[in-house]
Amino acid sequence: MFSCYLSSIIIKWTSFTQFIFFFFLLFFTSPYDAVSPFSDKSTLLRLKNSISDPAGLLSSWNPSSAHCSWYAVRCDSNFRVVSLNITGDGARAHAHRSSTSSSLPCSDFGKFPLYGFGIRRSCVGVKGSLLGKFPSFIIDLTELRVLSLPFNGFEGLIPDEIWSMKKLEVLDLEGNFITGHLPFHIQGLKKLRLLNLGFNNILGVVPSVLSSLDSLEVLNLAANGLNGSVPAFVGKLRGVYLSFNQFSGVIPEEIGENCGKLEHLDLSGNSLIQAIPKSLGNCARLRTLLLYSNLLEEGIPVEFGNLTSLEVLDVSRNTLSGSIPGALGNCKELSVVVLSNLFDPVGDSEFVTLNDELNYFEGSMPEEVVSLPKLRILWAPMVNLEGSFPRNWGACGNLEMVSLAQNFFTGEFPNRLGFCKKLHFLDLSSNNLTGELSKELHVPCMTLFDVSGNILSGSVPDFSNNVCPPFPSWNGNLFQTGDIASPYASYFSSKAQERTLFASLGGVGLSVFHNLGQNNFSGIQSLPIAGDRMEEKSGYTLLVDQNELTGLFPAYLLEKCDGLDALLLNLSFNRLSGEIPSNISRMCKSLKVLDASGNRISGEIPFTLGDSVSLVSLNLSKNRLQGQIPASLGQMKDLKFLSLAGNNLSGPIPSNLGQLYSLQVLDLSTNSITGEIPKFIENMRNLTDVLLNNNNLSGHIPAGLANVTTLSILNVSFNNLSGFLPSNSSLIKCSSAVGNPFLSSCRGVSLTVPSANQQGQFDDNSSNTAQSTQKNNDNGFSAIEIASITSASAIVSVLIALIVLFFFTRRWKPNSRVGGSAKREVTVFTDIGVPLTFENVVQATGNFNASNCIGSGGFGATYKAEISQGILVAVKRLSVGRFQGVQQFHAEIKTLGRLHHPNLVTLIGYHACETEMFLIYNYLPGGNLEKFIQERSTRAVDWKILHKIALDIARALSYLHDQCVPRVLHRDVKPSNILLDDDFNAYLSDFGLARLLGTSETHATTGVAGTFGYVAPEYAMTCRVSDKADVYSYGVVLLELLSDKKALDPSFSSYGNGFNIVAWGCMLLREGRAKEFFTAGLWDAGPENDLVEVLHLAVVCTVDSLSTRPTMKQVVKRLKQLQPPSC
């Protein structure tokens, strides 16, 4: 018995010693240390010693502790390392590398909010990153399943050994500096489930060997330099992220033929072409489909209606056409639909896409789409949608954001949206909606409400006292787990905020933007913002400009604004009257911007207005203010913009304005201000624009103005200034000082002053030389006459009388058509160095005398006008009655006035009232292209000139189509609308007028804008406009430029009805007779191959298929490739 007991003791002792032995091994060597020198622990220590760790992420890695307890290390039950997961913040690594690298810090994911659905990670708590070469000895961790080192600073090639790790399931090196190519031979990785190499510098193609990885589920290669075709095998995966690369070609149909597992497909930001495969409609489990920023064509496949699991669809920034399929209404899980996006998600980042295209659909927005039960975001601005605005929005309980701006919707405003309780972003601007706003709308709770540029009427109601949901945030985490719509909501909100006036003034934090401008509202009852929004100290912008507001200055809008951080208020161009309240500064201490220009406000500027020290911008121009400028305005230390122009202010410019050290723009023009130009302007180092013209200023121009380097515009013309211009100034020129009878003439320049009844106008026969002392018909004065004080005084007196007459009596009548009490104001977009008034423009045309007419068309006649000696403009007098609604005309024409391109005729300004409308353009002496073609036989044919003309017009159209927001369609491209200068530079004219003036009357047709022979067939039949209709017209013009034929040349009659220059060009190309097409001498003088290529390009521009026609950007690219040699 004892022996048995002893035996038991011995056995227990042996077990105890074994336990102590293994305990020793565990804590001092680890099991694998005892087996191999190349243990996991030594491999990890070797890794730590081979890299830089500035933030000390690996401080817990030391030989005296167990490696399985180290930071970011996870072991299995045998103490073997199976996971190494170190996420860096990338910030130090990003700073360490050049700024041109494509990697990014994890914290910078805000730059790419529309990326990585299903795989994005949180960066919270990450405070450092590792730097160095990627180690090849990682392969010694033979049991490793997860190798995740994203957003660090690892650089160089991925070692070949990595691709042979047989047990590896996750390889995640996103956001590093990995270079080289993907391997074409893989010996291991048979268990790899996730390969994430996004945001590195990997080049080349995606090798087909990746298709042999049978366990692969997620492939992320976004934001590298990969090219070639999208591999077809990706359809069998669960998540595919190939965005921000250089993939080209078509999307393979095969992706949709084996996509039973596919949930996320992101091919955005590439150069993929042709149609979206219909087979993608087979991917029943697809949740997100991102195809934005490519070159895809044709329509959205109807088969997408089969994607019943789809939550996000983004096909924006392509060249899609056709109608929006109502079958999308079958996608009951759909919460985000993005059909266009004026914000470029690729262009906003450091990655570049070749695509600036926008989709152009047909028809209306299907009610099946807007009534989707889970719809949160519907984004489709400027995609040519038309017809009645959708009325059935379903329950809309989840709807948060809607942007259908810059389309052609008609019908009543959708007050039904008042039932959408979560709606906080609504942009329906620039449509043709009518009716009134309902007080049930949740406008006070909306962060953005923009209905500008419609035809809404009635009074803006006193909206119900809404209880608002929490203010939506876009500054926090851009990705919430399980909430796929949040990144889009954050992205669109933040982009809209960045472009508000509040942000441009340096405002930060929350901002509410309500734009009711450019409508026919007759009144506004209160400030339409909820009380709890004010309590959140938000910035508030309210625009009600260009409406029909009447009554006294609405001081009540300022009564409850002190809860705001800033109020920006625009009341301009209405019919407000009365005086500015004397207590305005006490009513709203947070007032930042006040624009009340273009009204009928009278009286004096209250002295107390100077107490509004928070003001940054004050515009009271074009009213009926009188008296002197209050010296107290100098107290507004933050003021950057001050305009009091176009009133009847008198007295001197107060010296206190010199205390406005932040002032950038000072406009006191067209008043009756006296005294001298104050010297304090010399010390205002932020000034960029000073407009003092059309006053009664006297004295000298301060010489110190020549030293104000920030000044870009200075206009002191039409005053009583004397002395000399500062000789050392490149800014102060004669053109900005004309009309000062006592001011000495510029050296070498004739500075003539017009007579009283012909200010700015000179007879065509008058002398233009500086030496001339005789003026025909008393149209001007010589230098000696200018020196005559008596004559000059008489001139100035009459000028003042004319100005007073213009601004106060408004009874000047150039002819029977121009009269009554209509406003005679000229809005100027481009300063030509001399003032433009209604009177001097009309007088310069000889009261629209036929002898000055240089052309006519369906929109009206064009007149040559010499505003001042040597300063010529072209005035297009529009047919009154062509346009219904002067307010809408103002809104549309101001959009055109902002367009500037070297090959567009410059729209200098315009006038519009009920009885008179005209546009002012720069004058071009070379005639138009129609005349050039007709007279071609009188000059030698020069292929370089013809090519230059073709390229110039292509560039102009490409600018209108691709770079203008909103996109501008010409709709009447023809030779007579293409003007030339003396050097054969070509300029496109009449752009935007077809939409501006409506389509009820046209040049040679009824029903559609355009001219027979140049109108695209689909436009002539359906009246549906698109940029491809302009491409067709351009193709016809190009055919005329190359040949001796007109679009509908009489010689085509022998071919039968309907035969035109397009059919002729196609026939000659098809029959191999291209030589016969070109004008005499061109084939022999020009490079034959290039001529045929240009002919082929013109024919392709005129094919019936819209998807086959190139874009104007592609036309420009092709013409540049065919550029004639310079010598």
Structure tokens at 1111: 């874009």
Query: DSSP characters for 585-653?
Result: HHH-TTEEEEE--SS--EEEPPGGGGG-TT-SEEE--SSEEEEEPPGGGGG-TT--EEE--SSEEEEPP
Q: In what order do the strands lie in the sheet with 871-878?
A: 827-828, 907-912, 917-922, 871-878, 860-868, 853-857
Which burial class, exposed, middle or buried, applies to 88 when counting CB atoms under 10 A from its CB (0-12, 13-18, 19+)? Answer: buried
Could you confirm whether 962 is annotated as catalytic? no
Omega of the bond prior to 345 within 30 degrees of 0, cis?
A: no
HSE (side-chain half, CA atoms, 13 Å) at 562 = 8
CA angle 818/976/1097 to nearest 5° reads 145
As given in the structure block, the two tokens for residue 744 are 């000495």
- The residues near 809 (Cβ < 8 Å, ≥ 6 apart) are none
The phi and psi torsions of 822 (rounded to 5 degrees) equal -60, 150
User: What is the C-alpha separation between 373 and 7, in angstroms, rounded?
Assistant: 78
Count CB atoms within 10 A of the CB of residue 721.
Answer: 23
DSSP three-state, residue 202: strand
The angle at the Cα of 1034, spanning 1028 to 1037, to the nearest 5 degrees, equals 155
- Quote the CA–CA distance of 836 and 911 in Å, as a whole number: 10
Give residues with Cβ within 8 angstroms of 1126, minimum separation 6.
none
Token pair of 363 as six digits: 């028809």
Of residues 972, 990, 1027, 1030, which has the active-site annotation? 972
Tell me the C-alpha to C-alpha distance, in Å, between residue 102 and each of 120, 171, 791: 18, 19, 70
**What totals of helices (H) and strands (E) does the chain contain, helices first?**
21, 54
974 is annotated as contributing to ligand binding: no
Give burial (CB, 10 Å; 0-12/13-18/19+) of 700: middle
State how far the alpha carbon of 769 is from the alpha carbons of 213, 772, 870, in Å: 84, 6, 10
What SS3 string covers 524-582?
Answer: ECCCCCCHHHHHCCCEEEEECCCCCCEEECCHHHHCCCCCCCEEEEECCCCEEECCCCC
Residue 1017, C-beta contacts closer than 8 angstroms, at least 6 positions apart? 1032, 1104
Calculate ∠ Cα 863-865-868, nearest 5°: 175
SS3 763: coil
Phi-psi region of 1098 (alpha: psi -120 to 50; beta: other; left: phi over 0): alpha
Calculate the CA 253 to chain-centre distance.
34
Question: Which residues belong to the annotated binding site for ATP?
Answer: 876
Q: Active-site residues: which are they?
A: 972
Question: Which residues belong to the annotated binding site?
Answer: 876
